[in-house]
Amino acid sequence: MVYSKIISTGVYVPARIVKNDELLKMVETNDEWITSRTGIKERRISSGEKTYQIAAKAAKEAIENAGIEKEEIDMIILATITPDFFMPSTANLVQAELGLDDIPSFDVTAGCTGFVYGLQIADQFIKSKQSKTILVIGAEVLSKVTDWSDRNTCVLFGDGAGAVILKSSSQEGIICTYTGSQGDLKGLLTLPAVPLKNPFLDIQNNNGGSSTISMNGKEIFQFATRIMIKSISQVLNKSNLSMDDIDYIIPHQANIRIIDYVARKLKIEREKFIINLDHFGNTSSASIPLALNEAHKEKTFCPGDRIIMVAFGGGLTWGSALLNWTM
């Protein structure tokens, strides 16, 4: 039986730290308001670094930590909602930055669930023996798509990148995955792309929106809490395990209130949740690999620990992955 397992992690975050008090200059808010409603104290903000550049730095660290030659990588999957170009893909730019040729590289757009989607795809490529060593990255420069005049969203987001190397193994790593989606016709969480504009269009009908994130916070909270509970339950059911068998949960780092609600509903001790949103904020597809790397570096995990990664995001999307920790 062929399995896939994580053999290394790597991250990169910009050096610029923006604390809550700095946002007072932009919107009517304060540290107490932000902290009490989100759990976020500070975030990292790019000072000119592009998405592919921070992704490549996280990838290089993951490769170094894996102790492999970069040429062993036979696929790159990169999750992002903040690409530098529609084409080439961000993954292609990372491929060039790493000096790799002749391997498939592509982006996944699944909002904040992107990294879980990427893991699921990589796991299937390895289990089907089409690939042996895959680089999976979540990378975002959300500061370039944030409306810094909207206090409901600008306090949430940060920039960063996280990466893992997934490798073929006879040892079980990823046990099972679960993903889902529901088209967001109501526009609950959106980031518009290029508006329709051509010489054949009546300009009066061209009302393209601003390319910044907008969110209905109340509706997204209700969606997030419901779907995270469902996603955790799904991988437990698929693996015939219970919460007592799980050592840690790495949730998407969106809002501490969402995490606390899920913990209460599922009767899970808060200590089982890996949380670092207080100093990184919501980094979308980068949030789970950032938290994974931090916990690994702090030696939180032991070989044999069972870990659930769970996320929700714009799309609307959701997903979870259950794995045995083997490092």
Residues 281-299 have pLDDT tens digits of 999 999 999 999 999 999 9
Structure-token pair, residue 63: 């490769």
Percentage of residues of the chain with pLDDT beyond 70: 98
Question: With 80 as the cut, is the pLDDT of residue 83 above it?
Answer: yes
Helix (H) or strand (E) holding 306: strand 306-313
* pLDDT tens by residue, 187-224: 999 999 988 777 887 665 555 567 899 999 999 999 99
Question: With 80 as the cut, is the pLDDT of residue 152 above it?
Answer: yes
Distance CA 296, CA 298 (A): 5
Question: With 60 as the cut, is the pLDDT of residue 140 above it?
Answer: yes
Q: How many CB atoms within 10 Å of residue 104?
A: 15
Residue 268 buriedness (CB in 10 A; 0-12 / 13-18 / 19+): middle
Percentage of residues of the chain with pLDDT beyond 90: 91
Q: Among all residues, which ones are annotated catalytic?
A: 112, 252, 282
Q: Report CA Rg, the chain.
A: 19
Structure-token pair, residue 42: 């500070």
* Backbone torsion region of residue 25, taken as left when φ is above 0, otherwise alpha when ψ lies between -120 and 50, otherwise beta: alpha
Distance CA 222, CA 276 (A): 22
- The confidence band for 103, taking pLDDT boundaries of 50, 70 and 90, is very high
Query: What does the pLDDT read at residue 197?
Result: 79
Residue type, 141: V
Pick the range with the lowest mean pLDDT from 25-34, 70-79, 191-200, 203-212.
Answer: 203-212
Residue type, 85: F
Structure-token pair, residue 258: 């969402």
Query: What does the pLDDT read at residue 79?
Result: 98
Backbone torsions φ then ψ of 256, nearest 5 degrees? -65, -30
